[in-house]
Amino acid sequence: MTSATAGGSALYRYEPDYAVPPGDIIAEFIEEQGMTQVELARRLGITTKHLNQLIGGSVSLSNELAIGLERVTGTPARFWNSLEANFQDFEAREREAEDLAAELPWLDELPLKELIRQGHVADRRGQPIEQLREVLRFFGVAGRSSFDEVCASAAYRKSSAYTSDQYAVAAWLRVGELQAATCPTATFNRAAFRATLREVRALTIEIEPERWLPRLTKLCADVGVVVLLVPEIGKSRLSGAARWLSPDKALIQLSLRGRWAEGFWFTFFHEAAHILLHSKKRTFIDDGQSADELEEEADRFAHDLLIAPEYLPRLATLKTAMEVHAFAREIGVGSGIVAGRLHKEDLIPKNWFNKANVHPRYTFQ
């Protein structure tokens, strides 16, 4: 008995550790009937050599021959076809197990414990081959080479300064992909999404996730963008990611890495910029170290949307917590946004106004 996982639940199926080839049953029939291979071959309209190969397992049973066996033996063709299919499946899985055994060291490179702990992959560590199958099912790939081609491609497209674990990144992205598949959205509307970001900006004033999170996800879903909060996996070290799941459905995935409100909202609007402005063919992942033109453009978009450039000269005049709160109310953002920007611009010491910039309180369920 082995199991597969789908959405974290176990689906059990029976897989015998043996299979009977059709040739064995044919050989038994010959013996029971006191018949020679030559006579049976004549009745089936095939050569004795072909029948001998079939009994020895060196050739497969065709559908046509299964019908011939039905007429000669009285046993339905579906029985013979089923024997052949089961035997071929068994042989393929035996070969697969040999191939997977060579790839078992790969499990040590994956954030397996974390995937199991978070319920994304079933725990089969007592059966290494089956554990590897579980991992491949989670990633939705046939083998390690397919994983390298499909799942890790985003992780490879990083600079030499990239310090995240590529396998942890791939796992984190895959969790978001699987969760997003169950999230209904409207067809993406670029103009509506741009307008929606103004409404999202107003949510930065809220502190309790019960107030801002449902509103955030609904506003974006209504214009074709899934927003997910996905806890970090292993050493993924990402704040967020943006990508397209289909031509009409985008995903913004956030990790809540760090503890500052300004960082969370900045990451959201940074990823939103990628959705609005950049290619649908790329996966953009934010580890805080990239400095290419697209990332810089996304940074400017997020900065300008949260605090418009015309307000920047005022930042240097803010010296007290009361002034920070008053300015934030004036421009319609959370105080943490202003405090965080002051920190980024080195206008105040890093330990000032931290209470104003506390991360939105959220616990992953």
pLDDT in tens, 39-72: 999 999 999 999 999 999 999 999 999 999 999 9
Among 219, 131, 140, 220, smallest CA distance to 173 is for 140
Q: Which residue has the higher pLDDT, 319 or 163?
A: 319
Task: List helix spans (H) across the chain.
Answer: 22-33, 37-44, 48-56, 63-73, 77-103, 112-117, 128-139, 144-150, 153-156, 166-180, 190-202, 209-221, 261-277, 293-306, 312-315, 321-331, 335-344
Q: Using 50, 70 and 90 to split pLDDT, how confident is the model at 290?
A: low
For the stretch 96-123, what's the b/e string if a residue is b when 16 or more beta carbons lie within 10 angstroms of its beta carbon? Answer: eeeebeebeebeeebbbebbbebebbbe
Whether 341 and 306 have beta carbons less than 8 Å apart is answered as yes
pLDDT of residue 304: 95
pLDDT of residue 40: 96
Res. 14: pLDDT tops 70? no
pLDDT of residue 156: 43
pLDDT of residue 288: 63
pTM: 0.80
Q: How far is CA 146 from CA 93, 141, 142, 150, 169, in A?
A: 18, 6, 6, 6, 16
Res. 19: pLDDT tops 90? no
Taking the alpha carbons of 57, 63, 65, 67 in that order, is the dihedral positive or negative? positive
Q: Would you call 28 exposed, middle or buried from its count of C-beta atoms within 10 A (0-12, 13-18, 19+)?
A: exposed
Mean pLDDT, the chain, whole residue set? 86
What span, in angstroms and rounded, lies between the C-alpha atoms of 360 and 143? Answer: 40
Res. 197: pLDDT tops 50? yes
Whether 144 and 134 have beta carbons less than 8 Å apart is answered as no
Among 235, 1, 228, smallest CA distance to 122 is for 1
pLDDT in tens, 160-173: 344 568 899 999 99
> Average pLDDT for residues 327-350, to the nearest whole number?
84
> Average pLDDT for residues 261-279, to the nearest whole number?
92
Helix (H, G, I), strand (E, B) or coil at 6: strand
What are the backbone dihedrals phi and psi of residue 4, each rounded to the nearest 5 degrees, phi first? -120, 160
What span, in angstroms and rounded, lies between the C-alpha atoms of 237 and 28? Answer: 63
Among 337, 209, 190, 208, smallest CA distance to 267 is for 337
Looking up tokens 């390690």, which residue turns up? 144
pLDDT of residue 189: 97
Res. 208: pLDDT tops 90? no
> Average pLDDT for residues 298-316, to the nearest whole number?
93
User: What is the CATH superfamily name and number for domain 22-100?
Assistant: lambda repressor-like DNA-binding domains (1.10.260.40)
Instruction: Break the chain into its structural domains and give their ranges.
Output: 22-100, 166-308
> Average pLDDT for residues 234-246, to the nearest whole number?
90
pLDDT of residue 359: 47
pLDDT in tens, 71-129: 999 999 999 999 999 999 999 999 999 999 999 999 999 999 999 999 999 999 999 99
pLDDT of residue 103: 94
Whether 121 and 138 have beta carbons less than 8 Å apart is answered as yes
